[in-house]
Structure 1
Amino acid sequence: MSLPHRPPVASAFALLTASFAATASFAAPDPVDFARDIQPLLSEHCASCHGGVKKKGGLSLVTRSHAFAETDSGAPAIVPGDTAKSELVARITTPDEDDRMPPEKPLSADQVDLLKRWVAEGAVWPEHWSLAPVKRPELPAVKEKDRVRNEIDAFVLAKLEARKVPPSPEADARTLIRRLSLDLTGLLPAAGKVETFSAAWEAAAPAERERLYGSLVNELLGSPHFGERWGRHWLDEARYADSSGYEKDSTRADAFQFRDWVIRAINDDMPFDQFTVRQIAGDLLPGATVDDRVATQFHLMCQYNLEGGVDAEEDRTKRVIDRIATIGSTWLAATVECTQCHNHPYDPLLQRDFYSLYAFFNNTADEVIFAGVPPADAAEKLKKRQEKWAPIAELIERQVTDKNLATKLQAELSNLRTYDNSNGFTRVVAERNVNRRITYLFHRGSFLQPEIEAGGIDPAVSAVWPEVKARAKGGVPDRLDFANWLVDPGNPLTARVTVNKIWMHLFGAPLVASVRDFGMRGQAPTHPELLDWLADTLVHEAKWSRKELIRRIVLSATYRQSSTVRPELAAADPNNALLARQNRFRVEAEIIRDVFLQAGGLLSDKVGGPSVFPPLPSDVAALSYANNFKWATSKGEDRYRRGLYTFFKRTAPDPNLIAFDCPDASMTTPVRGQSNTPLQALTTLQNEVFHEAAQAFSKRLVAAKLPDDTARIREAFLICLGRPPEADEIAALAGLIAESKAYYADHAAEATELIGPHACADVSAPEQAAWVAAGRIILNLDEFLTRS
């Protein structure tokens, strides 16, 4: 059989191609990367038996020093560069089932190969990325320099170019103004503002567009509603609520003082380092003001158990533990609560480290002060209140001999003192200067088993972190020293953790997916150089200014990309980790309520003040312990306040908020869930609050001096979606409106009921009822509830 003739050049080319293919197939694989390849493998398959809690065979794989040390057998588990002498390699490759590790589920061939190659290459075990000092990285070189508006774009574009993925085009003007408004204020841009901005944008040259966009950014950052929007993010982490939790769930009439402090601080762009110090230790600042002390309510947002028979010391201990867990998550992204009972199973944190942190907070006490009144007046009123409550306290001390009952009554008295809010009382944290408690390690985490024989524990942090230094030379550090340590430029965690969450709120996804865990079991950043650039910028260039960092992010081309999903990246980058586009996501629970009320023209723009009581389902409103609370629905403007001002009762929260994943305030919540359930659709279609918004929206539309229904449909779209409707959308809604008018003309009573209290005197009931039906459809569009 003869083969077909090939021209010499073609044959040579084929040979050359085959040669390259063969060479490529035998090319050496990339070096093993510890953080990417080895650490996740050890954490997943080995740490349960060879971690911080269990060290079977004398082997712990949590830290480099332990992993390379001799085991109980006298042989080291890992000998860098020598697989033959490494017991770890022997155990994962042995055919003997009794000796093979892991015992129950052997590693795959690829995993075994990775570990062998890692050992052979020298078993490089660098410092964990989150513990390494933050260093400002060099900007990467990019080919398409015209796509770079600031440094952020260089880091993102470099990764995209390496993968040969182009970024998405810039979003249109209408999308940009709606995105910015929702991200920075949580409100819709006014329809007129959208039209003006869009027209100016379309007519402008590139340089003028930059000016228009920058001016819009500055306007929104300066809005008083910026503090509300970003304050709500912080309140999730502070576990804010207006009640104490547990069975009694007593009202905290002063809690709003902390919420309002957060809003003011963010609106005033209080530097994040000061924002931190005031909440952790504002009472210890020299010349601490009332505002400084109100900030310490951060510690008091935990739950208080005021039930009968509760051990007061146990409850206090639980609150201190909660504070440590909250601070560990919020500033350090460290799961320190895992060390309350034993060493951390995955991270190099010891049980003793937990109680060293505990010692910073073990001598705090609740104290009542006046907030928001002149000092002289406050002193006089405080004196009167003390005179009022002193006899009751004395009676309790004299007449009650039962220790548990006495403790309970004292707690009740404290509660009454705190919540007699008619005179501006607010509760804050103070340092206990007499009868100071000694901190002991609790055996297995039980406060009933302090290891007194081992001696007291001084305030300190884990040895894997930089040392906390006392202000006084040779002294013991206190809570203020700890607060200063959190925001010291040498702390590798706080800035990284903070910018990661700021990025998350502006993109719908963080750079480090494990937002509350930067430890060994956490995930590595998708863009580590960008994360460190942002962290360094926040500290050194922005001087801890939240607004300045946000400004830089939203001015970037990366932020301004279209969020349109790209099918060609569905398999290669399904989660948009490369940031080849913006993300599209539903707005949060409170913002859903806000934009409904805003579209209806009902939303109050009042900022701050006591919490309010919007309408609730009657069975939820009636929930209380022994009738100790009544949900009295607010009237007038307070009925239509923003969602973050809704009174949050831990045992009976507003179901409209919970339906859309609002946290329950039982613990710090840096990341809200994003569920998608039928209940959500039923809530916005049928709940009283959302239905009333649709009624008011219909009145707003029919009362406007517009020529016809087509014009009203256009106006409705501009209000809700920031864009004009498409022809098919107009046709569909016009048909529905015509059909509804005909129906309600024959069913006048139903029309009147549907319109409710928001009837327009100049319009017939059937016509307005038709617009209630149409308005509900527009308000329930996915596009309306989504930030694109």
Structure 2
Amino acid sequence: MNRTSSTVVVLCAILLLTAPDFCWSTEVDNIKSEQLFVRRIVPLMREKCLGCHGADREMIEGNLDLTSLSATLKGGDSESPGLKPGEPDASPIYLAALRTHEEWSAMPPKEAEQLSEQQLSWLREWISSGASWPDDAKQAEIAEANSKAWSVEDGIPIASSGGLSEDWTNRRYDPESLWAYQPLSVPEELAEYDPSVAVIDRFISAKAPQGLFFAPRADRPTLLRRATFDLIGLPPTPAEIREFVDDRTDDDTAFKKVIDRLLASPHYGERMAQHWLDVTRYADSSGLANDYERGNAWRYRDYVIRAFNEDKPYDQFVREQIAGDELAPDNPEMLVAVGFLRMGPWELTGMEVAKVARQRFLDDVTNNVGEVFLGHSLQCARCHDHKFDPVPTRDYYSIQAVFATTQLTERKAAFLPSENCEGFEERKYLEQRRVEYEQNLVELDEAMLANAQLWYKEQNRSPDQWNEVVNRLKNSPGEGVFNKARNEMKRQGLSEDEYPPKLVGFTPQQFGLERVSRKGVERLSWEFDRYQPYALSVYNGKTLEMNSVKSPLRMPKDPMKSGELEETCILVGGDPFSLGAPVEPGYLSVLADQVDVQIPQTVSGRRTAFAEWITDPENPLTSRVIVNRIWQWHFGRGLAGNPNNFGSTGKRPTHPGLLDWLATALIKDGYSIKQLHRRIMLSDAYRRSSTHPLPNEIQELDPLGTSYAVFTPRRLTAEELRDAMLLLSGELNPKLGGIPCRPEINQEVALQPRQVMGTFAAAWTPNPLPEQRNRRSIYALKLRGLSDPMMDVFNSPSPDFSCERRDASTVTPQAFSLFNGQNTHSRALAMAARVLKNSKDDVAAITLCFQQVYGRDPSASETSSCLNHFDQLQKMITGNKPNTRQIPL
């Protein structure tokens, strides 16, 4: 065989051997081309092309039909094929889409609809790969086979009421980010469990990293302390610890008894209410420029405490707070319950446009309902469609329309037998202050009338007309004669230089006294509501025209007689003066296929229907949100990391199956919060020790601490810390409910009058009696404009924003507050006196202190250290004369 023949043989052999690879490669390319066509080109042509080139067979532009490969290859009026497979630069449909070719007109015609760079690259790649165009059956087969993988990569469409743009309406979402909108779902293999095994622990075990061992159970004293602080916010007593430790029943039975005892305690409601009030932004004042006191806000606080103590079903609890006045308008408790809608900062001053103030209330209540009950920050959709979640602006204003007929009022509501009405004798003090203020104003009015005569004399003008007006108005009711006379002169058409000016002839001292007295009378009108049978509430009706609100609002006799019946429109850019399309009352349309409730457009009944939508068992958000909050109140963090944000920017649940199982269990248990506590607290996850025998293993296998292999201890809250000190010193007044108390706070802060619009509010005045001051912290007067520094430094949240989770910081001012603060000093003295009275020597005193404060005996080294410290203090103070305490003035 010659050289040439040999070469040919070798070449043929190579071709034969590699032929399958060439065929396989061609087949793979064809599959990719078909997949690209189904995944990218079909939706692209449907969106950009077929409206003019195939959707309507009778109206095909330029006779170019793009509904099939054969029709596209045939072309249109240009008599050129619409595309040339493998040659994108010679394909008219690609060149037209580029919009830069001289021969082919730009397509689509509208510049706003031009293809993006990404879409152009898809079109070019498809043509380059041969322009595969499978038939309809093959397209359906390809779409079904790849739907799951494609949805992960490209996202999935979500039906809603529609966005402000087509792009937003048609956008796609990562399926995993939509977990909160999915129906509750529990894996069958975990839902069916052996009754002897806690189902919570089955979920946690299923998610635990391989090779990770769980910590053992905590000892009984530790567990009791954990449970007691969790459920009542106070430490266990030595007697309670001994009872639990000495209980000879098995651990489960003994701990069940502890849980039941704590859940039955009236202090349970106080502890849970503190959590809830953090979320709802409870405060006893309005905030903003005037920070007017909300004299009867305390009734809402006590309603929440009673609701938790009574184990009111959570769905009922929600309905009452949104629509209690509609559900039972003659029930005072229902009028108090809707105080929830009034919790946000709000005021209307003469310096603000009433429409703006009204819109601020509607925005506030819309977002608050979203965060508290639905785990959604709806305000992100106020000015534009939500950037991340399937919440269009239309939904935001549809929910706002639910509250368009809701008006603010302090509504008559008789005191309930269950309400604590003690302490009302304080009203006498306020009456005395009002008499003093009013007497000051009378004397200042007389001074101005006298100064007016001097003014006329200085101006060489006759006071006859002025005197005639003054004499006529002397016995008329209302504000001072001087101001009434000025108003009358103005009404008669006189210019301002023809009658005395305001505060004529006043000295600086008189000017200040007038301002303080006038504003004082104004502010006292808010404080007096504290002792009146009124509720911080709402009613349904027309929106009244008001220039300012300087005293508590009262409900009109006929809510529909005057004012405007608001029509809710989309506000362009959130501007109340830029009205867009009108909307009807509604809810989150992303859940419309799961919960369908008709919300009426009538003046009354909107909130009731909306509350029914929120509490419908098929609404997956409501139950998930509350069980996540309860879990966080026990473990320090929720299963989903952002309790107020279940959207795509919030942290996704670490144990989604467990979250859904708890939500389902809550519904099946009749929305009992107490039963939910029992389920959680009886789990091994809750009862684990906070120390692990293999800490390095935990750090390696569970660095984020989401396996619940150990129990993560938490800091005491500011309120728990103060209340515990009062309890241990024997000073705590455990009485439930009632008007706010005023405990002692940092003196430098207390003696600084709050600056409010145009004047000063009175300085902080503690209650005169210890039993009044030393009540639980939840009952302390909470002013937005004046916070307690001790509460602040230990992370008590601001009531201006919903607090989904308290911060836990370690900062130097905390040490200063404890060691230098008068509050701690007073508690230490009282506790020392109590301990010394019940101990025979120093060692016994130290032991008793440890038992009461820490719930355990001191170690030998701790006892020795305390004795040495005590001895050093004794030597240091011996012979030193104590300094007299100076109060800064």
TM range (shorter): 0.7 to 0.9
Q: 1:155 to 1:422 in 2, by over 3 A?
A: closer
1:720 to 843, 853, 858: 853
Q: 1:578 to 1:392 in 2, by over 3 A?
A: farther
Q: 1:574 to 1:647 in 2, by over 3 A?
A: same
Q: 1:694 to 1:717 in 2, by over 3 A?
A: same
Q: 1:117 to 1:498 in 2, by over 3 A?
A: closer
Aligned partner of 1:134: which letter? L
In 2: Cα distance, 1:648 partner to 1:343 partner:
36
1:155 to 203, 210, 229: 203
Aligned partner of 2:873: which letter? S
Whether the 8 Å CA contact 1:149–1:555 is kept in 2: the answer is no
Deviation at 1:439, TM superposition (A): 0.6
Match of 1:509 in 2: 637
1:544 counterpart = 2:671: yes
Whether the 8 Å CA contact 2:586–2:599 is kept in 1: the answer is no
Q: 1:302 to 1:85 in 2, by over 3 A?
A: farther
Match of 2:583 in 1: 457
In 1: Cα distance, 2:665 partner to 2:293 partner:
42
1:575 counterpart = 2:709: no
Match of 1:667 in 2: 801
Q: 1:352 to 1:619 in 2, by over 3 A?
A: same
Deviation at 1:714, TM superposition (A): 1.2
In 2: Cα distance, 1:84 partner to 1:620 partner:
71
Q: 1:141 to 1:427 in 2, by over 3 A?
A: closer
Whether the 8 Å CA contact 2:733–2:774 is kept in 1: the answer is yes
Kindly provide the CA deviation profile for residues 297-347 of structure 1, in whole angstroms up to 9, marking residues without a partner as x: 011111122444122221121111111111111111112101111111111
Kindly provide the CA deviation profile for residues 564-583 of structure 1, in whole angstroms up to 9, marking residues without a partner as x: 15332113322310111111
Whether the 8 Å CA contact 2:375–2:621 is kept in 1: the answer is yes
Deviation at 1:509, TM superposition (A): 1.2
Deviation at 1:72, TM superposition (A): 4.1
Deviation at 1:724, TM superposition (A): 0.9
In 2: Cα distance, 1:254 partner to 1:287 partner:
18
1:427 to 536, 549, 553: 536
Kindly provide the CA deviation profile for residues 593-616 of structure 1, in whole angstroms up to 9, marking residues without a partner as x: 111111211111111111111112
Match of 1:334 in 2: 376
Kindly provide the CA deviation profile for residues 224-253 of structure 1, in whole angstroms up to 9, marking residues without a partner as x: 000000000000111100111012111111
In 1: Cα distance, 2:312 partner to 2:211 partner:
41
2:870 to 737, 756, 771: 737
Match of 1:180 in 2: 227
Of residues 191-200 and 475-484 in structure 1, the stretch that sits farther from structure 2 once superposed is 475-484
1:261 counterpart = 2:303: yes
In 1: Cα distance, 2:836 partner to 2:728 partner:
14
Aligned partner of 2:585: which letter? P
Whether the 8 Å CA contact 1:597–1:640 is kept in 2: the answer is yes
Match of 1:300 in 2: 342
Alignment length (residue pairs): 620
Match of 2:5 in 1: none
Deviation at 1:744, TM superposition (A): 3.0
1:558 counterpart = 2:605: no
The runs of 5 or more residues in structure 1 that have no matched partner are 1-56, 58-69, 88-114, 376-390, 402-408, 757-788
Whether the 8 Å CA contact 2:335–2:535 is kept in 1: the answer is no
Match of 2:243 in 1: 196
Match of 1:325 in 2: 367
Whether the 8 Å CA contact 1:303–1:666 is kept in 2: the answer is yes
Q: 1:254 to 1:154 in 2, by over 3 A?
A: same
Q: 1:117 to 1:333 in 2, by over 3 A?
A: closer
Of residues 338-347 and 456-465 in structure 1, the stretch that sits farther from structure 2 once superposed is 456-465
Structure 1 segment 76-225 matched on structure 2, within 5 A: 119=150, 125=156, 126=175, 128-140=178-190, 149-160=197-208, 163-200=210-247, 204=248, 208-225=250-267
Match of 1:486 in 2: 614
Aligned partner of 1:570: which letter? Q
In 1: Cα distance, 2:617 partner to 2:182 partner:
12
The runs of 5 or more residues in structure 2 that have no matched partner are 1-96, 98-111, 129-145, 157-174, 418-476, 492-517, 542-558
Q: 1:473 to 1:595 in 2, by over 3 A?
A: closer
Deviation at 1:136, TM superposition (A): 3.5
Match of 1:358 in 2: 400
Of residues 731-740 and 262-271 in structure 1, the stretch that sits farther from structure 2 once superposed is 731-740
Aligned partner of 2:823: which letter? V
Q: 1:627 to 1:73 in 2, by over 3 A?
A: closer
Work out the percentage of aligned pairs sharing the same amino acid: 31
Structure 1 segment 354-433 matched on structure 2, within 5 A: 354-373=396-415, 416=525, 419-432=528-541
The TM-score with structure 1 as length reference comes to: 0.73
Q: 1:567 to 1:693 in 2, by over 3 A?
A: farther
Deviation at 1:549, TM superposition (A): 0.4
Of residues 706-715 and 363-372 in structure 1, the stretch that sits farther from structure 2 once superposed is 363-372
In 2: Cα distance, 1:85 partner to 1:167 partner:
54
Deviation at 1:707, TM superposition (A): 2.9
Q: 1:374 to 1:573 in 2, by over 3 A?
A: closer
Aligned partner of 2:591: which letter? W
Deviation at 1:140, TM superposition (A): 3.2
Whether the 8 Å CA contact 2:212–2:701 is kept in 1: the answer is no
Of residues 427-436 and 462-471 in structure 1, the stretch that sits farther from structure 2 once superposed is 462-471
In 2: Cα distance, 1:677 partner to 1:265 partner:
36
Aligned partner of 2:539: which letter? A
Aligned partner of 2:538: which letter? V
Q: 1:628 to 1:596 in 2, by over 3 A?
A: same
Q: 1:155 to 1:457 in 2, by over 3 A?
A: same
Aligned partner of 2:181: which letter? L
Deviation at 1:122, TM superposition (A): 7.7
Aligned partner of 2:598: which letter? A
Kindly provide the CA deviation profile for residues 57-85 of structure 1, in whole angstroms up to 9, marking residues without a partner as x: 9xxxxxxxxxxxx98428986999x9965
Moved over 6 A (4+): 398-401, 412-415, 471-477
Whether the 8 Å CA contact 2:281–2:801 is kept in 1: the answer is yes
Aligned partner of 2:864: which letter? A
Kindly provide the CA deviation profile for residues 429-473 of structure 1, in whole angstroms up to 9, marking residues without a partner as x: 11116242111111100112122xx3x211012321235523779
SS in 2 for 1:570: helix
Deviation at 1:689, TM superposition (A): 1.1
Aligned partner of 1:192: which letter? A
Deviation at 1:353, TM superposition (A): 1.3
Deviation at 1:86, TM superposition (A): 12
SS in 2 for 1:700: helix
1:608 to 716, 737, 742: 737
Kindly provide the CA deviation profile for residues 646-689 of structure 1, in whole angstroms up to 9, marking residues without a partner as x: 11111111111111111111121121111211111111111111
C-alpha RMSD of matched pairs (Å): 3.6
Whether the 8 Å CA contact 1:340–1:354 is kept in 2: the answer is yes
Q: 1:551 to 1:338 in 2, by over 3 A?
A: same
1:280 to 316, 322, 327: 322
Kindly provide the CA deviation profile for residues 495-538 of structure 1, in whole angstroms up to 9, marking residues without a partner as x: 11111110000001110112221112222210011000000001
SS in 2 for 1:586: coil
Whether the 8 Å CA contact 2:375–2:645 is kept in 1: the answer is yes
SS in 1 for 2:275: helix
Deviation at 1:627, TM superposition (A): 2.9
Whether the 8 Å CA contact 1:134–1:492 is kept in 2: the answer is yes
In 2: Cα distance, 1:212 partner to 1:352 partner:
54
In 2: Cα distance, 1:643 partner to 1:192 partner:
24
In 1: Cα distance, 2:206 partner to 2:820 partner:
49
Whether the 8 Å CA contact 1:329–1:335 is kept in 2: the answer is yes
Deviation at 1:740, TM superposition (A): 2.0
1:518 counterpart = 2:565: no
1:446 counterpart = 2:575: yes
Deviation at 1:195, TM superposition (A): 2.1
Aligned partner of 2:215: which letter? S
1:530 counterpart = 2:658: yes
Match of 1:16 in 2: none
Q: 1:120 to 1:483 in 2, by over 3 A?
A: closer
Whether the 8 Å CA contact 2:335–2:537 is kept in 1: the answer is yes
Match of 1:759 in 2: none
In 2: Cα distance, 1:120 partner to 1:370 partner:
56
